[in-house]
Amino acid sequence: MADALNHPEASSPNDFELPDTSDGINGTQEIEQIVLPPTDTGYRAWFLLYGCFIINVLIWGFAFSFGVLQQYYTTHAPFSSHPNGIATIGTVATGLMYLLMPLYFSVLQRWPRTKVYATWASLPIVAGSLIGASFAQSVGHLIAFQGVVFAVGGNLMFVPTVTYLDEWFVRRKGLAVGIMWAGDGAGGVVMPLVLEALLARYGFRTTLRAVAVAMVLLMAPLLAFVKPRLPIAAASAQRRIDVSFLRSPLFWVLQTFNVVQGTGYFLPSSYLPIYAQSLGYSSRLGSLTLVLVNLAAMFGCILVGALVDRMEVTKVLLGISVAAAVSILAVWGVSTSLGVLCVFALLYGFSAGAYSTAWTGMIKDVKTRGATADANVIFGFLAAGRGLGATISGPLSEALIAGSAALRDEAKFGYGSEYGTLVIFSGVTALVGGGSWAVRRLGLI
């Protein structure tokens, strides 16, 4: 990473390597003469982190608040008469954003100058996706615009900010990534409340158009803060895309459990508002559960980010995976009241909601084993693993609910509801997400 120019400690395995600029426009000698701002400290680094946080609030916060829109779509025309596929809208958006990351990171590594164009191009695409969805007459139309097009545009804003964060933070990288991901939770606190109020008063068409305009107005000024640490001339040389880490058994062990965790992770958040409504509570109180998940995730991300800077990552993964599984199986599974459901939402958000923050520790481990790839590319592949799980979880959740009839006569509480099989599946996948600790404990990696 570029920090090695001014900081000798930046050569540690935790850091991303310095871009190869020997064939750049002005050459390495000129780069060495440039006095770069410090990493980890200073107002520029923290302004950059602030911009990353707010972008996550808007982009990922909206995507993770789909449970509120799903609740509305399933109970209002023109979608309530044919609700099949509604759950897929949200999982396509989040899943595709994750799945596209390896491609986006690879393109930005190959042609770094495109980062600036990508962030500006994202604004009309994100706005267009929501405006296009506001004219929807079918679930397929929503999947195309609110799912696919939103994911394409949202990633164009998000991915460049991750590469900038990598340049500005070294020793506190895990903490910085945790704060960045906490933006998802902050957005998930604000967005459901905003969406619930707008949907109740104006319906989904005006709501989506209002959110589109607000996103453009709020994100455009942030581009003044979201800037690289390396000068454009130093970063603009084409670079070879290194995927040597794909030959690492350690990477594939971590990725396997990452995919499994992603398969079940999005289901509780998507179905909590509907589950609360099935218990007889209003849609507003149902939305409260989603707010609590995201509120707790904010603090969980910051804590896990700090822990992976100091602890072996598989231990952190084991801890949050066990906590998430217990919250699902022992709390959600027996919940019959809003109070218990709120306790579950807090516990689940704090634990499972912080899983992706541990990617920083996974990357550090993989690179410690000798991988020479740019850490942003590894990040992209880990994100794709979660995206694969998220994409699968949409249609899978509908199949799980359809197959829950066998439990209804045998089980009680949440397990005896139509969501019983979904509770079990989510709990098992949450627990398996920490399996890399057991593999390491057995000495296999």
**Tokens at 311, concatenated:** 């602890």
Render pLDDT for 56-109 as a digit per residue (tens, 0 to 9).
Answer: 999 998 988 888 898 899 888 898 887 788 888 988 888 889 889 989 988 888
pLDDT band per the 50, 70, 90 thresholds, residue 403? confident
Structure tokens, 94:
């989040």
Residue 268: alpha-carbon gap to chain centroid? 15
C-alpha span between 85 and 313 (Å, rounded): 37
Is the pLDDT confidence value at 25 over 80? no
What is the rounded CA–CA span in Å between residue 27 and residue 21? 6
How far does CA 119 lie from the centroid of its chain?
Answer: 18
Task: Report d(CA 292, CA 284) in Å as an integer.
Answer: 13
> Looking at beta carbons, which pairs linking 73-78 to residues 24 or more positions away fall under 8 Å?
73/139, 73/142, 73/204, 74/274, 75/283, 76/203, 76/204, 78/137, 78/138
**Least-confidence region, from 152-166, 248-262, 279-293:** 279-293
**Contact call for residues 52 and 168 (beta carbons, < 8 A):** no
Q: What is the DSSP letter of 236?
A: -
Which contacts of 72-80 are long-range, i.e. CB under 8 A and separated by 24 or more positions? 72/199, 72/204, 72/283, 73/139, 73/142, 73/204, 74/274, 75/283, 76/203, 76/204, 78/137, 78/138, 79/138, 79/139, 79/142
Closest CA to 392 of 350, 431, 358, 425: 425
Report residue 233: phi and psi, to 5°: -60, -30
In the block, residue with structure tokens 């209003």: 282
Q: Using CA atoms, how far apart are residues 60 and 66, in angstroms rounded to an integer?
A: 10
**What pLDDT does 14 receive?**
37
Residue 275 has pLDDT above 50, yes or no: yes
Give the model confidence (pLDDT) of 231-255 as tens digits: 765 445 556 777 888 888 999 999 9
Amino acid at 42: G
pLDDT of residue 162: 86
DSSP, residue by residue, 179-229: HHHHHHHHHHHHHHHHHHHHHHHHHHHHHHHHHHHHHHHHHGGGGGT---S
What pTM was estimated for this model as a whole?
A: 0.77
Q: Is 65 helix (H, G, I), strand (E, B) or coil?
A: coil
CA angle 86, 92, 96 (to 5 degrees): 175
Dist CA 89 CA 96 (whole Å): 11
pLDDT value of position 35: 77
Tokens of 175: 């903490």
Considering only 152-166, 250-264, 425-439, which range has the smallest mean pLDDT?
152-166
What are 354-394's pLDDT values in tens digits? 999 999 899 989 988 866 778 888 988 999 999 888 888 87
Give me the helices (H) in 34-113, please.
43-64, 66-75, 86-110
The mean predicted confidence, pLDDT, of the chain is 84
pLDDT given at position 371? 65
What structural domains and CATH numbers belong to the chain?
39-441 (1.20.1250.20)
pLDDT for the residue 406: 66
Size of the chain in residues: 445
Q: What is the 3-state secondary structure (H, E, C) of 292-356?
A: HHHHHHHHHHHHHHHHHCCCCHHHHHHHHHHHHHHHHHHHHHHCCCHHHHHHHHHHHHHHHHHHH
DSSP, collapsed to helix, strand or coil, labels residue 39 as: coil
